[in-house]
Amino acid sequence: MTVLLSAIFLYVRRYSIMPYLYLCSISELGSAYDIGWFNLFIDFI
């Protein structure tokens, strides 16, 4: 799971700064929100 989030983190960082800031704010809330963000990320693609 950590490797997957790292790959997403690097991709988002390269793609746009806004999702990067969004991810940073979410990571402070807990890992449960990371799954929700990941689902949102898939829907975005």
- Residue ranges per structural domain of the chain: 2-44
- 17-27 helix and 31-44 helix, angle to the nearest 10 degrees: 150
Phi-psi region of 30 (alpha: psi -120 to 50; beta: other; left: phi over 0): left
Q: How far apart are CA 10 and CA 22, in angstroms?
A: 14
How would you write the pLDDT of the chain (45 residues) with one tens digit per residue? 678 877 777 776 665 566 666 766 656 655 555 666 666 676 765
Q: Is the pTM of this model over 0.75?
A: no
